[in-house]
Structure 1
Amino acid sequence: MGGELRVGQVYRYASGKDPKPAMLDGFPNFHHVTHSTGHKRALLDAFTGHQGHTPEERAAATPLLLFRAVSQNGKPKGHVEFCGVGILERTERLVQWGGREHTTFVNYVYDIALIDLTSEGDAVAWDCIQARRDNAVSDGQALKLAPQAWREWVKHGSSALPRLRRRVARAQVTKVRDQRPEPRSGDAADLELVYRYFDGRKHDFEALAAVVTARVLRGSGRGYVEGWLTRRSGDGGADFVGRLDLGSGLAGTSLVVLGQAKCVKPDTLITAEQIARVVARLRRGWIGVYVTTGAYSEPAQTEMVEDQYPIILINGMSLVSELGSMARDDHGGDLTACIEHVLSSRASTVTNRRPEEILLQ
């Protein structure tokens, strides 16, 4: 007891899970910081507490500590970054399709609200987590150690979440170095292969970007319908069109997706002005997707977050990650064969139709 988790701090997450050393390879040891006795609850069990109707029920809820995997020193695994404390707002059971065997499987989608930790200096004392798991400590006693925003949520419920959410634009900005593969890595070689393959072949890259966009959006558990590529002349600034379906029946809606694809040298930065030009073409109920072999500048990302641009950014590293997965699934890991298959299957989908026509399909 006595340690803390700080938002943005990277922790070494070693496979041995030894809690004894405080530091590993120059990073705080995740298992040391979070070590405590007691059992761990499943996410579905935690959801029940997060939907409590009374302060007493919410006081018994399990705080969610959220982490994301990050690469460090050329290692893609073994490190996690603390993102904050979350409250489960909604869960949905759905059936997805995919994997090497191309079969259906049941999964869950969760909507989680990150709470504001400003009063605690963007940190969480491990004492409050340990107290929450100690059967000898009452819910009321443990609550006194919780972050202020958590206590406010327990007192007022979900109606208080809009003012308790964590709102920091910079927290949603990815550093340029984290958008690029490690030098001389396999991913770096794959990205260079993609760039050289499509350099000077703008329309072919748009076909690839359209397929990757479909894979990314479907991977989030949403319904996505691929549309068409726009013709070289008169495309109005959009390179491909798709449709994102949310919900179903009277409880559903569809959004037009306008895609922009830019094959540039992997060390190129996409600027705020380039993203803004795409956003300027969006109408109400439309969203944008920008796919590139480069990376997005931090000022561009900050402007996107602060101005709430309805656009999804797919950088070079994400691009080759999706392509690598596709190549492994269907082409024995042969990236070139995967690319050629994509191009041959998309050859007949070029048109100059109006984007809103995708809503009629």
Structure 2
Amino acid sequence: MGGRLKVGQVYRYSSSKDPKPPTLDGYPNFHHVTHSEGLKRALLEAGINGMARVKVPGGGVRRPAILIRSSPWKAGTEQTPWHDVFDMDNGHVRYFGDHKAGLSVTPGTTTGNAALLDAFTTHQGPTPEERATAAPLLLFRAVSRNGQPKGHVEFCGIGIIERAERLVQWGGRDHTTFVNYVYDLALIDLTAEDDAVTWDWIHARRDLDLTHRQTLELAPRAWREWVKHGSSVLPRLRRRVARARVVKVRDQRPQAGSSAATDLDLIYRHFDGRKHDFEALAAAVAAKVLGRGHQRYVEGWLTRRSGDGGADFVGRLDLGGGLAGTGLVVLGQAKCVKPGTLITAEQIARVVARLRRGWIGIYVTTGAYSEPAQTEMVEDQYPIVLVNGMGLAREVRATARDNHGGDLLACVKHIVDSKETAVTNRRPEEILLQ
């Protein structure tokens, strides 16, 4: 059996194709990882490498996989005039077929295009039974190491063909036009598998004695979901790097019955009914969170109860010093809600809409942030810091322990009662002048 193909990992693809050593020249050995005892090697000699079809129990055939290799160093040359696009962060690959200038065969009948067009048919299959026969696309791209463009490949994930299009290109020594195919591929989410694919799945797909259903047991979760539901679920199953920075709601909330849950409940009940006072606590927590490290945070003021325009407090974050320093306006939003409440993307967006170039935001709440809200924040690159209820309780508890003998309520009252920050309707940019 083979090993695991990890997204982003570079593998040594040697000309010897010896599967025995696990590593070569400090890199995992591609032929070791993809070794299937008694079966032909998995190869990347061509751009599009379709494994031989196998007959399956009950009739029918399946292609175990199609291995695709993109060679960026060839892009723009006479023989390879196209430029493949690998947008791994957003789960999209645009890959050009293998028809070339000067070929007399009909477009779509070259070895690679024929394999991908055949796969496209099953990838667009209307039933789970048809999609179960579909060949997964294992995507690689050549990378340079030690000044050499050949001999190393990076694994980029598992692809499903969303669209196949014929187009006219130019190439060859005479710069003539020719017809080729281009494919839009969706990279599926492999988060459940730690961003990796086990070769045992591909090995099982090569086994003549295993049914489609049996091989699916080893498939990635997203692949199984796609086989079951079809292309309608691809937007949800598409690989998004943003998801790696999204914290599940359950992980944002203290465990029931824990001391953190008790602290958070005490804070919420203390400010329930007078939530404007909560802004003072939120401003103090923001100062702790943003003031860590080498930067300096300057507290500004709280805004008035009405007409705050989407900001409850204002501060300044100083980076560097002297000519090598700058100050950033910080707009803060405080939201005291029941700890079980979720903050939505729309609520965060209202704060972001107030931000100007060089400003950042911070949102402090006793609740939690919905996963769609976090995804939108990461994908749209919102310059905002999120502090959930569990983080809020942790910061207040630390302050209580350091300055109030562990008395949380006394700490909260002291922050609110002794807050020297004025309540005003000054313009946020005035913080840069003080």
Report TM bin, short chain: 0.5 to 0.7
Residue 352 of structure 2 aligns to which amino acid in structure 1? V
Residue 7 of structure 2 aligns to which amino acid in structure 1? G
> 1:11: which partner in 2?
none
> 2:344: which partner in 1?
271
Distance 1:154 1:243 in 2: 46
Residue 25 of structure 2 aligns to which amino acid in structure 1? Q
SS in 2 for 1:309: coil
Identity among equivalent pairs (%): 69
Residue 192 of structure 1 aligns to which amino acid in structure 2? D
- CA shift, 1:252, in A, is 1.6
Summarize the alignment of residues 1-361 of structure 1 with structure 2, pairs less than 5 Å apart. Answer: 120-121=6-7, 141-143=25-27, 168-361=241-434
1:293-343: CA deviations, max 9, x gaps? 000000000001111111110000000010111111111111001111111
* TM-score, structure 1 as length reference: 0.57
Unaligned runs of 5+ in 1: 5-118, 126-138, 157-163
What value does the CA root-mean-square deviation take over the aligned residues? 3.1
- CA shift, 1:344, in A, is 1.9
- CA shift, 1:143, in A, is 4.2
Residue 356 of structure 2 aligns to which amino acid in structure 1? R
CA gap of 1:142–1:215, structure 2 versus 1, over 3 A, is: same
- CA shift, 1:250, in A, is 1.7
Contact 2:300 2:421 in 1 (8 A): no
Contact 2:331 2:359 in 1 (8 A): yes
Distance 2:272 2:407 in 1: 20
Distance 1:237 1:341 in 2: 26
Residue 227 of structure 1 aligns to which amino acid in structure 2? G
Runs ≥4 residues deviating over 2 A:
121-125, 143-146, 151-156
Contact 2:278 2:334 in 1 (8 A): yes
Contact 2:298 2:316 in 1 (8 A): yes
**Could you tell which deviates more after superposition, 229-238 or 322-331?**
229-238
* TM-score, structure 2 as length reference: 0.48
CA gap of 1:216–1:153, structure 2 versus 1, over 3 A, is: farther
Residue 343 of structure 1 aligns to which amino acid in structure 2? V
1:204-252: CA deviations, max 9, x gaps? 1000000000101112432111111111122222100000111112222
SS in 2 for 1:281: coil
Unaligned runs of 5+ in 2: 12-22, 31-139, 149-155, 157-194, 196-239
Residue 364 of structure 2 aligns to which amino acid in structure 1? V
SS in 1 for 2:330: strand
1:261-281: CA deviations, max 9, x gaps? 000000000000000111111
Distance 2:147 2:424 in 1: 56
Residue 295 of structure 2 aligns to which amino acid in structure 1? R
1:81-113: CA deviations, max 9, x gaps? xxxxxxxxxxxxxxxxxxxxxxxxxxxxxxxxx
Residue 414 of structure 2 aligns to which amino acid in structure 1? H
Larger Rg: 2
Contact 2:10 2:28 in 1 (8 A): no
1:156-200: CA deviations, max 9, x gaps? 9xxxxxxx9x97110010000000000010000100000000012
